[in-house]
Amino acid sequence: MATETRKKMNIPITKPALGEDEARAPYESIKSGWVTQGPKVAEFERAVASYVGARHGIATTSCTTGLHLALASIGVGRGDEVIVPSFTFIASANAVLYTGADVIFCDIDARTFNVDPSDVEKRITKRTKAILPIDQIGLACDISAINDIAKRHGVEVVEDAAPAIGESFNGRRVGSNAHQTVFSFHPRKVITTGEGGMIMTDDDALAARARRLRAHGMSVSDLERHGSDRVIIEEYDELGFNYRMTDIQASIGLVQLRRLDELLRVRRAKAKRYDQELSEIRGLQVPFVPAYAEHTYQSYCLRLTKDCRLDREELMTKLLHRGIATRRGVMASHLEKTYTSRYGR
């Protein structure tokens, strides 16, 4: 037991930027009777698609279900392999297992914590169906290199951009650079709908299939039926899921999206201050941001070098007793029991 007296937590790991406008936003949806997926979800999808420069947004209940839906929509299933960085939140790999496919872990670039394209190419086999790169902690991966590899080998790309809405790659917003990109609206992200996610794509046919699979495989949406002047009997041609965002959530998301650029400006300014204050401390390595990216700073991730006088847990404990919350940067998913029990170490 540490001998230091723990102070009251005054710097949490995150705090959603929610205000009075967000608190009032669901009122219209509640009064209208559209509390599940309806017109506000459709409006939110269009707004996000317009912001990132994609043709389609398909809102989901989370980034995890969005990743599953994106993989299912391109036919990933039993017998296939999907390449995923091992250094990532476990949901990225879990989404692959949900399809029945196998996870093939690859290595990262130690500077960016993002996928190492050269290692990805080494992992491709005849069974590879897709590559699932992550924009780690809000920093865009080298999606151009990943797209080139995918094109050479005839495989799909599903970009896990959970923390990266508002991030750019070579001046193009994340969400417009891969066949499919998936965002998260969890409270740790820059903008939130409580829980929620969204798939971005320019592929009309893929978007239509994802929307069907999102709603149990239903051939027509509730919004279309309610707006029609004729009776429509829906059909179910394939097994789908219930991954529908609600209008209550989307109404909050619309307010948050209008604030996104300002929220990013504030985060980046704070990160710059941290860089200035921490970069001269021996044993600490501040985040590296390549010239092609900007970073959303979902988190400010420090790396401890061999010169640091404390190990990770010691430093986290000292910060905790000063009222500062921290978390391990990212997990090594391949070392979690879910994966060691399947694939070994």
The CA angle 57-73-123, to the nearest 5 degrees, is: 110
Phi, psi angle pair for 14, to nearest 5°: -160, 160
pLDDT tens readout for residues 294-335: 999 999 999 999 999 999 999 999 999 999 999 988 889 999
Residue 75 tokens read as 């036919």
CA–CA separation, 332 and 95 (whole Å) = 16
189 is annotated as an active-site residue: yes
* Amino acid 1: pLDDT: 42
User: Are 55 and 146 spatial neighbours (Cβ–Cβ below 8 Å)?
Assistant: no
User: Are 247 and 40 spatial neighbours (Cβ–Cβ below 8 Å)?
Assistant: yes
The fold adopted by the segment(s) 20-257 is: Aspartate Aminotransferase; domain 2 (3.40.640)
Which range, of 77-86, 139-148, 181-190, 318-327, averages the lowest pLDDT? 318-327
pLDDT tens readout for residues 10-29: 889 989 999 999 999 999 99
pLDDT(2) > 70? no
Average pLDDT of the segment spanning 80-86: 99
Note the pTM of the prediction, 2 decimals: 0.94
Sort strands 197-201 and 180-184 into parallel, antiparallel or unpaired. antiparallel
- Counting Cα atoms < 13 Å in the Cβ hemisphere of 62 gives 11
In this prediction, residue 281 has a pLDDT band, given cuts at 50, 70 and 90, of very high
pLDDT(41) > 60? yes
Q: Select which of 31, 122, 151, 189 is catalytic.
A: 189
* Amino acid 18: pLDDT: 97
Q: Domain segments of the chain: what residues?
A: 20-257
CA–CA separation, 214 and 245 (whole Å) = 10
Nearest CA to 132 among 64, 85, 183?
85
pLDDT tens readout for residues 87-106: 999 999 999 999 999 999 99
Average pLDDT of the segment spanning 94-121: 98
pLDDT tens readout for residues 200-232: 999 999 999 999 999 998 877 777 767 666 777
| Strand ranges in the chain using DSSP code E only, listed in sequence order | 56-60, 81-85, 102-106, 128-131, 156-160, 168-169, 172-173, 180-184, 197-201, 284-285, 303-304
User: Are 306 and 180 spatial neighbours (Cβ–Cβ below 8 Å)?
Assistant: no
